[in-house]
A and B are shown apart, each in its own frame.
Chain A
């Protein structure tokens, strides 16, 4: 380097260590308390940074006495399917938008990108009504047709309730179409030569584009998987039974059950770690790939 950088580097290292402490301390506190038994916790009268011996016990209690294992499975299903829908649909559409000549492309791009501005949680009240009967727009069409033909009998009414189903929970989460933007940036950066040998569109999509896009596809899939896992408000209202609730919702229900006594803090902390373990490991292991594949910088 051109100058002596010891001082600056030391400052930078201090900043990073302070930042990591801020991020890690709630997790470390949760981990330590999760190793204590309820009696130890009550005896200590609050936070004590002495690890206990009951971590396994607390986890076993979570695994056997609560619905959380089942709910973790729900989380896996919901997160996987919403991420898969997001990646597949966006990949196909972006392929069409970038590589096909069409005057609709601009409009479709705008329609998909607009979903980023209004997150699902914002419109959860009316999304609930839509998912309660997905056939709603079809009913409108039928009624319109009935009016037009002046049939005297009442129009048939279709019902298709997706509340409390995996599809109903996952599909609205999958609408946010940030992936279109990311794939578009990536497709535009590809060398044109990749498609010069005159292959048809589907051949090109499967044999050339798909293998080339492995990095952004894996990165976005993990990112949306984690996003689906951590979503809360929508699953809270759309999963009405405990059997269908994802783990995050299940955990929050545990936390609100008993108002009067000192809460079962060690078990709750163990639960918080239990439901966060898989996505955190995924993010930690895949960090390099995610950052590389998202490629959020404008170039």
Chain B
């Protein structure tokens, strides 16, 4: 249904101007500046800039550190997004049953939304601490079994677990609200026909939930590219070695610690393109999935 019934003019311009000025200044300008700088060599303390063509890109693309952190970003996105969504889906399916537990679960399960990655990172650092934390007794029996300070894989796993923890609420809210719009009659009719609960999940609820699942994957991929910064900064500082240096962390250290502004801008451009590519791939995939209500 069309709702338009006022005609444009000054009022229209005045209404849309604030948000346009805001996003132009603090979003499109930085995005454009990142592209601009990726073609210039910018001197750190305002010493002017010099056009260098594709030299920045060549420098970044020939740097093994860039590729390994991009690969880790990809791995992290895949692991954290899949686990996060799968877990949220299971919980949403359970909460949708309207049992007594689901009332309180709906509340508790979104609490992590209110807790910053950096603060829960501090808690998780302690919990996973090899000498003080939960696994300390295990380490006494099998020395060296668990040490995220030395073992890169352990460190990576702790960040993934923490990211899944922080990512549950949003996925859970979206998936649960999707499940609740599925007409009850469909499920009851299927139950009458003798379809088991698992069968109904597979053949009715999951197919009808495709739009929400798609939405969670898109948002989760965007979020897992940037969200882990707070976790990494408080839990591992990118280490041990550079085993948890995701691209977002590398950009931060290159830009604000090494003052390599052109390099950081170039990597920002590449990370933006990477995120956009991941989202576009998903839009393509979505077109293949047919769903009807």
Assembly CA distance A291 to B234 (angstroms): 30
Is B66 an interface position by the 8 A CB rule? no
Is B1 an interface position by the 8 A CB rule? yes
Is B27 an interface position by the 8 A CB rule? yes
Which chain B residues border A59 with CB–CB below 8 Å? none
Contact of A269 among B5, B116, B126, B265 (CB under 8 A): B126
Which chain B residues border A26 with CB–CB below 8 Å? 120, 123-124, 127, 165
Q: Give, as a whole number of angstroms, the nearest-CB distance from B260 to chain A.
A: 10
Contact of A126 among B34, B174, B188 (CB under 8 A): B34
Q: Give, as a whole number of angstroms, the nearest-CB distance from A272 to chain B.
A: 5
Contact of A15 among B34, B94, B132, B225 (CB under 8 A): B94
**B6 and A201: CB pair below 8 A?**
yes
Is B222 an interface position by the 8 A CB rule? yes
Is B239 an interface position by the 8 A CB rule? no
Report the nearest B residue to A10, measured CB to CB.
Answer: B99
Is A101 an interface position by the 8 A CB rule? yes
Is A298 an interface position by the 8 A CB rule? yes
Assembly CA distance A2 to B185 (angstroms): 11
**A123 and B272: CB pair below 8 A?**
yes
Which chain B residues border A290 with CB–CB below 8 Å? 110
**A99 and B5: CB pair below 8 A?**
yes
For chains A and B in complex, what number of residue pairs have CB atoms within 8 angstroms?
Answer: 334
With contacts A12-B99, A24-B108, A226-B113 known, is A115 near B23, CB below 8 A?
A: yes
**A262 and B23: CB pair below 8 A?**
no
Contact of B114 among A95, A96, A276, A295 (CB under 8 A): A276
**B268 and A23: CB pair below 8 A?**
no
Is A174 an interface position by the 8 A CB rule? yes
With contacts A13-B94, A26-B127 known, is A136 near B26, CB below 8 A?
A: no
Which chain B residues border A125 with CB–CB below 8 Å? 34, 251-252, 255-256, 261, 264-265, 268
Which residues of B, 121-151, contact A by the 8 Å Cβ criterion? 121-127, 129, 131-134, 136
Assembly CA distance A297 to B177 (angstroms): 6
Is B79 an interface position by the 8 A CB rule? no
Which chain A residues border B178 with CB–CB below 8 Å? 297-298
**A287 and B31: CB pair below 8 A?**
no
Most chain A C-beta atoms within 10 Å of own C-beta, residue among B8, B104, B176:
B8
Report the nearest A residue to B247, measured CB to CB.
Answer: A122
**A251 and B118: CB pair below 8 A?**
yes
Interface residue total, chain B, C-beta cutoff 8 A: 106
Which chain B residues border A24 with CB–CB below 8 Å? 108
Is B20 an interface position by the 8 A CB rule? yes
**B115 and A126: CB pair below 8 A?**
no
Q: Give, as a whole number of angstroms, the nearest-CB distance from A55 to chain B.
A: 16
**B252 and A233: CB pair below 8 A?**
yes
| Binary CB contact string for chain A from 75 to 108 against chain B (1 if under 8 A, 0 otherwise) | 0000000000100111011011111111010001
Contact of A279 among B5, B28, B93, B114 (CB under 8 A): B114
Which chain A residues border B29 with CB–CB below 8 Å? 126, 130, 136-137
Interface residue total, chain A, C-beta cutoff 8 A: 113
Assembly CA distance A265 to B11 (angstroms): 56
Is A177 an interface position by the 8 A CB rule? yes
| Binary CB contact string for chain B from 170 to 181 against chain A (1 if under 8 A, 0 otherwise) | 000110111011
**B265 and A126: CB pair below 8 A?**
yes
Is A232 an interface position by the 8 A CB rule? yes
Is B81 an interface position by the 8 A CB rule? no
Which chain B residues border A272 with CB–CB below 8 Å? 119-120, 122-123
Which residues of A, 104-137, contact B by the 8 Å Cβ criterion? 104, 108, 111-112, 115-131, 134, 136-137
With contacts A9-B99, A93-B15, A192-B3 known, is A122 near B136, CB below 8 A?
A: no
**B15 and A96: CB pair below 8 A?**
yes
Contact segment of A27-35, A145-153, A210-218? A27-35
Q: Give, as a whole number of angstroms, the nearest-CB distance from A104 to chain B.
A: 8
A-B contact pairs, 10 of them (CB 8 A): A16-B99, A89-B22, A101-B5, A104-B12, A118-B31, A125-B252, A126-B29, A128-B255, A252-B119, A298-B178
Beyond the given pairs A124-B252, A125-B264, A296-B173, 17 more chain A to chain B contacts, judged by CB atoms under 8 angstroms and listed by A's residue number, are A26-B120, A26-B127, A29-B126, A99-B5, A101-B7, A111-B20, A116-B222, A125-B255, A126-B33, A126-B265, A229-B116, A233-B226, A237-B256, A268-B126, A269-B123, A291-B176, A297-B177
Residues of A that sit less than 8 Å from B by CB: 1-3, 5, 8-9, 11-13, 15-17, 19-20, 22-24, 26-27, 29-30, 33, 45-47, 85, 88-90, 92-93, 95-102, 104, 108, 111-112, 115-131, 134, 136-137, 171-172, 174-175, 177, 180, 187-188, 190, 192, 195, 201-202, 226, 229-233, 236-237, 248-249, 251-252, 255-256, 262-263, 265, 268-269, 271-272, 275-276, 279-280, 282-284, 287, 290-291, 294-299
10 closest A-B pairs (Cβ-Cβ)?
Answer: A230-B116, A279-B114, A96-B15, A12-B94, A46-B132, A121-B226, A15-B94, A126-B30, A232-B230, A126-B33
Residues of B that sit less than 8 Å from A by CB: 1, 3-8, 11-12, 15-16, 18-20, 22-23, 25-31, 33-34, 37, 87, 90-91, 93-95, 97, 99-102, 104-127, 129, 131-134, 136, 165, 168, 173-174, 176-178, 180-181, 188, 191-192, 197, 211-212, 215, 222-223, 225-227, 229-230, 233-234, 248, 251-252, 255-256, 261, 264-265, 268, 271-272, 275-276, 279
